[in-house]
A and B are shown apart, each in its own frame.
Chain A
Amino acid sequence: MTGPLLFKDIDTPGLAGLDTYRRVGGYATVLAVLGRQTPDQCIEIVKASGLRGRGGAGFPTGLKWSFVPKGTERPKYLVCNADESEPGTFKDRELIEKNPHSLIEGMILAGWAIQSNAGYVYLRGEFGWLQKILDQAIAEAYAAGLLGRDVAGTGFRFDLHTHLGAGAYICGEETALLSSLEGYRGQPRLKPPFPAVEGLYRCPTIVNNVETLVNIPHILGQGAAWYRQWGTEKSAGTKVFSVSGPVKRPGNYELPLGVPLRVLLEEHCGGMRDGLKLKAVIPGGSSVPPLPASLLDTPLDFESMNAVGTFLGSGGVIVIDEQTCMVDSLWNLMRFYAHESCGKCTPCREGTYWMTGILERLERGQGRASDIDLLADLADNILGRSFCPLGDAAAMPVQGFLKHFRAEFEHHVGQRCLANRRRDSRMGVPA
């Protein structure tokens, strides 16, 4: 699969190796920028590019970098978030697997911009095999003098290590990630202070997603105006969309931000498979509200998604067909959140558990009419009252499912679900 920027060369054989990466122009930006452009100039270019974080929240990257205090004696850290645990999202994995050096190059440049001499890549525990690929590329970069005490002969020191998690969705949340990296249980910390001021080892720390960082060599190499040829005014550049569910060609697609959802699904993914009809799309990873088929023409950018009551999120696009039950789908997701709640605060720990129970009894035809309002009430009480955004992430889909598909929930009251393509196969769960 190709794309205009991050996926341009992604299927070049041998790209994971340093020589091939260099042949397609890799590390040219490091040579052009380090020692030639000041860190402040780099931050200004990234600000002007309009790049926003690709990890889900969409925070402007250059602005975040500018929060790192200047002239402090304390070390500064750069941490790449490769936890990639948001259901529906599988892009960072392909970026690292096929093009690990682009992440290393992006981190060297980001390190220069914030004047950090040490970086870590936090990989989710299930990525042990991917860690080997990245470690190999890091070793190559050290051997070539691109990492270490004198990066490319510029006198800039940058050390980079990988760190493997061990199975916990919450470690994708940046403060939980830092707890985990410091050797604690992976539980979130209060913000503020924000990591840019007080993060890893209580030192200024920038946490960025993999996809955010692999954009950096392109932006610093070619300039902000060039980067803005893709995307919209407020959502600049391209985005990797991970498409899953019963479409003909699921996978990762790098497209300019602002592309309509319908174009992604019909032109790029070839539409639905097996003659199925599309019922709903969760556009930004499991934590965002779903959209009904009637909103398929909405452009995929931060603002347009907000305008229809959902989020661009991580770009994990989950497609649900007409023969799939929405109550069952939400129950599946709620089991995920109940399982992954770290247990630190009551609304999320107890709320996800209760919502799972309600959804289970609705799906089994044992629900009461009042259960639907109870579900909505629970979601309202979790939202904004949890210690970290995982609670919100569990509540928002509930609100969206009820907003667009309430009739299906009402239909389930006292009636066992009949219209579920997956029913015969839903055996992993005790019947």
Chain B
Amino acid sequence: MSGAPAPHTAPAGPVGPVAWPSALQPKVAEALSHYPNRRSAVLPLLWIAQREWGWLPPEVLRLVARTVELPDAEVFGVATFYTMFNLKPVGKYHLQVCMTLSCSLMGADRLFQHLSGRLGIGHGETTPDGRFTLRRVECLAACGGGPCLQVNEEKFHENLDEAAVDRLLERLP
């Protein structure tokens, strides 16, 4: 790759205490209602927050901790355990390319290389315009349609080759 990509200047995230926007409050209440204790709502609330803010800055983790009435450290511990919570900002389109054996047998490595070259970024990096983040991920449960990738939280794109992935990128608004 020629030259390191320019650092992605992302929104810094909220500074100081944040609150759930009123439009989200019914969702938060519903998530809490699904379980006999508040703690079980940690994952659903982290998801609601990540969908709202795009990533999980510390202030947002603290909001979740307050909501489930747990020490901040507990929620930080949970959020860092899982791979899908973005503890740093990601681009508008988070391209997650499966690299595990079945996809690899069908050309996932070449696909990743193509994307990396086209976007000028490597694993875990974001394009300077904040449009794309590229990431290698483990098996997505789409092995029969390898190679495959997931954009954000959408349904997987399967049976990809270079041309198909180019068309996919061009179709994204």
- A and B interact: yes
| A164 and B43 within 8 A (CB) | yes
Contacts of B20 on A, CB cut-off 8 Å?
Answer: none
Q: Which of B8-16, B124-132, B139-147, B164-172 lines the interface with chain A?
A: B139-147
Residue of A with least CB distance to B77: A185
Interface size classification for chain A: 35 or more
Residue of A with least CB distance to B84: A167
Q: A360 to chain B: closest CB distance in Å?
A: 15
Alpha-carbon distance between A328 and B102 when the two chains are bound, in angstroms: 13
Contact of A165 among B39, B43, B77 (CB under 8 A): B43
Contact of A242 among B123, B144, B156 (CB under 8 A): B144
B107-146 interface code vs A (CB 8 A; 1 in, 0 out):
1111011000000000100000000000011111111111
| B84 and A166 within 8 A (CB) | yes
| A245 and B85 within 8 A (CB) | no
| A425 and B110 within 8 A (CB) | yes
Does A61 belong to the interface (CB within 8 Å)? no
- In the complex, chain A residues 148-174 whose Cβ is within 8 Å of any chain B Cβ: 161, 163-169
Does B42 belong to the interface (CB within 8 Å)? yes
Contacts of B123 on A, CB cut-off 8 Å?
Answer: 428
Contacts of A182 on B, CB cut-off 8 Å?
Answer: 37, 39-40
Residue of A with least CB distance to B115: A428
| A318 and B107 within 8 A (CB) | no
Does A307 belong to the interface (CB within 8 Å)? no
Does B44 belong to the interface (CB within 8 Å)? yes
Contacts of B107 on A, CB cut-off 8 Å?
Answer: 422, 425
Chain B count of residues within 8 A CB distance of the other chain: 52
Q: A328 to chain B: closest CB distance in Å?
A: 9
A400-431 interface code vs B (CB 8 A; 1 in, 0 out):
00000000000000000000001011111100
Contacts of A169 on B, CB cut-off 8 Å?
Answer: 138-139
Contacts of A425 on B, CB cut-off 8 Å?
Answer: 107, 109-110, 113
| B138 and A286 within 8 A (CB) | no
Residue of B with least CB distance to A129: B155
Q: A260 to chain B: closest CB distance in Å?
A: 20
Alpha-carbon distance between A75 and B41 when the two chains are bound, in angstroms: 19
B interface residues with partner A (beta carbon < 8 Å): 34, 36-37, 39-44, 46-47, 68, 70, 77-78, 81-85, 96-97, 99-102, 104-110, 112-113, 123, 136-146, 150, 153-156
Could you list 11 A-B pairs, sorted by A, with CB under 8 Å? A84-B141, A88-B143, A93-B141, A125-B82, A129-B153, A168-B82, A251-B144, A282-B101, A333-B100, A336-B100, A428-B99
A interface residues with partner B (beta carbon < 8 Å): 75, 84-90, 92-93, 124-130, 161, 163-169, 180-187, 201, 242-246, 250-252, 282, 286, 316, 318-321, 324, 329, 332-333, 336, 339-340, 422, 424-429
Sorted from nearest, which 3 A-B pairs have the closest CB atoms? A166-B82, A167-B83, A244-B143
* Extra inter-chain contacts (4) besides given A251-B144, A332-B101, A426-B104, CB under 8 Å: A126-B140, A163-B44, A185-B78, A246-B106
